[in-house]
Structure 1
Amino acid sequence: MSLPEPLGTFDAVIFDFDGTLADSHESMMNAYRVFAAEYGVDYKLAEQYTGMPTEAVAKILLPPELARAGGLRIDELESTNTGGVVALPGAVAALAAIPPDRQAIATSCTDRLIAARMRAADLPMPAVVVTRDMVAEGKPAPDSFLLAAERLGVDPARCVVLEDAPAGVRGAKAAGCATIGVRTRYDDEALASDWCVDTLADLRFVATDGGIVVTPA
């Protein structure tokens, strides 16, 4: 897919974290292996749900009476084992190019987990970070993106969201945001975003008086 020049001018940019700003796959898989062994869950089954909020995964895999404890255990394992979490290409440059009051992260991570992974990836924490703890419904609901736009003080329709998962893209679209899919795990058809790139390094973000201009790199 060839990208138009430019993609658009936006009041703010909202980033997903895992698979968009950083690669946390190795850390996540290690955590799920331990969780699966401890709770007697098939690891291959658990693996299918990685990237979802940990409480939601536990509700799918465990009896109701164990779900809350299981979700907390996954979060603990992921937060204390961040080996292999690294920034993805273009992440540092993208965050540096966008003014702090015009960028946010909207993630399915908990507060504890995003803090641990941002430190591990050596990425600066934006002033606005919306985690799963802060919203009634996680992705694919639009809540995370609506709250990020509200805290930035901008209209969601004037935001562009960078996402690597179909659920995140659906949530961003439901919030009224423009979407750029990152092909970390899914292809263009699965992402169904307005535009698609391989990594953030394929994009350039330029701050102007009129907004953030997003163009192909």
Structure 2
Amino acid sequence: MALGKLAELDFDAVIFDMDGTLIDSTPAVARAWSTWAQEHGLTAEQLAGHHGMPSARVVRKLLPDHQHESAIDRINALEIDDVHDIVVLPGAADALAALRSARNAIATSCTMPLARARIAAADLAAPSVLVTADQVEHGKPAPDPFLLAAERLGVAPERCLVVEDAPAGLTAAKAAGCYRLAVITTTPEGELEADGIVRNLGDVEFLVGADGGIRVRELA
């Protein structure tokens, strides 16, 4: 695990995934989806492999068309109602604080109501630019969330560093033309394809130059 070439580059902006990157919502997510799966006669095996994707996309993959609307409404309600034991992951608060004067954003597969509920539950000081799955036509692994985040930040995607924990998000970042830093908070290192890989945000430090340029440095 190391930053690799990322340690030698300057970036105009940093775009963070949220769940699994900035906050740990794993228990709450597992409870909501377990309840939803039981209600719809699905197994844990059928749910596997969808981490990092918008819930609506998962529903559409698993259920027939006539069930989509009600099933999406149900998982959204379950997730918004359960924001217990959501915590900020190591290094996340420091990373956001360090970038307060720089351009940074969150691009998440949550809907806006769910993202706001989890941010509030974690007491996270989130950046002003927040892109959610209900703001784009195609969610991760499509590049749309990161492209929209870059547009709102006023920077070119290829000048952005994306921080992600999920293969779907890393695929989306690559398609958007962004550099990618992976954290192994939810997915084994061997399943992550990125320009650099670290354990979590506690392993790195973000430095902002006088011109607003951003560098990332690995902590000893």
Match of 1:172 in 2: 173
Greater shift after overlay, 192-201 or 1-10?
1-10
User: Which amino acid counterpart does residue 93 of structure 1 have in structure 2?
Assistant: D
Distance in 2 between residues matched to 1:49 and 1:186, nearest whole Å: 12
Match of 2:215 in 1: 213
Deviations 1:110-145 (A, max 9, x none): 001100111111101311111000111111111111
SS in structure 2 of the partner of residue 60 of structure 1 = helix
Structure 1: runs of 5+ lacking an equivalent: none
Quick check: 1:60 aligned with 2:61?
yes
Change (3 A) 1:14 1:201: same
User: Which amino acid counterpart does residue 206 of structure 2 have in structure 1?
Assistant: F
Q: Residue 71 of structure 1: CA displacement?
A: 1.3
Distance in 2 between residues matched to 1:118 and 1:186, nearest whole Å: 22
Quick check: 1:163 aligned with 2:190?
no
User: Is the CA contact (8 Å cut-off) linking 2:11 and 2:159 kept in structure 1?
Assistant: yes
User: Which amino acid counterpart does residue 89 of structure 1 have in structure 2?
Assistant: P
How does 1:51-90 map onto structure 2 within 5 Å? 51-90=52-91
Distance in 2 between residues matched to 1:43 and 1:15, nearest whole Å: 28
Q: Residue 107 of structure 1: CA displacement?
A: 0.7
User: Is the CA contact (8 Å cut-off) linking 2:104 and 2:127 kept in structure 1?
Assistant: yes
User: Is the CA contact (8 Å cut-off) linking 1:32 and 1:47 kept in structure 2?
Assistant: no
User: Is the CA contact (8 Å cut-off) linking 1:99 and 1:207 kept in structure 2?
Assistant: no
User: Which amino acid counterpart does residue 57 of structure 1 have in structure 2?
Assistant: V
Q: Percent identity?
A: 47
User: Which amino acid counterpart does residue 218 of structure 2 have in structure 1?
Assistant: P
SS in structure 1 of the partner of residue 7 of structure 2 = coil
User: Is the CA contact (8 Å cut-off) linking 2:102 and 2:208 kept in structure 1?
Assistant: no
Structure 2: runs of 5+ lacking an equivalent: none
Match of 1:151 in 2: 152
Change (3 A) 1:177 1:35: same
TM-score in terms of structure 1 length: 0.94
Distance in 1 between residues matched to 2:218 and 2:11, nearest whole Å: 15
Distance in 2 between residues matched to 1:74 and 1:50, nearest whole Å: 15
Change (3 A) 1:55 1:3: closer
Match of 2:113 in 1: 112
User: Is the CA contact (8 Å cut-off) linking 2:102 and 2:214 kept in structure 1?
Assistant: no
Distance in 1 between residues matched to 2:101 and 2:215, nearest whole Å: 15
Match of 1:201 in 2: 202
User: Is the CA contact (8 Å cut-off) linking 2:107 and 2:130 kept in structure 1?
Assistant: yes
Q: Residue 48 of structure 1: CA displacement?
A: 4.1
User: Is the CA contact (8 Å cut-off) linking 1:86 and 1:121 kept in structure 2?
Assistant: yes
Match of 1:17 in 2: 18
SS in structure 1 of the partner of residue 21 of structure 2 = coil
Quick check: 1:3 aligned with 2:3?
yes
User: Is the CA contact (8 Å cut-off) linking 2:52 and 2:140 kept in structure 1?
Assistant: no
Distance in 1 between residues matched to 2:143 and 2:174, nearest whole Å: 8
User: Which amino acid counterpart does residue 3 of structure 2 have in structure 1?
Assistant: L
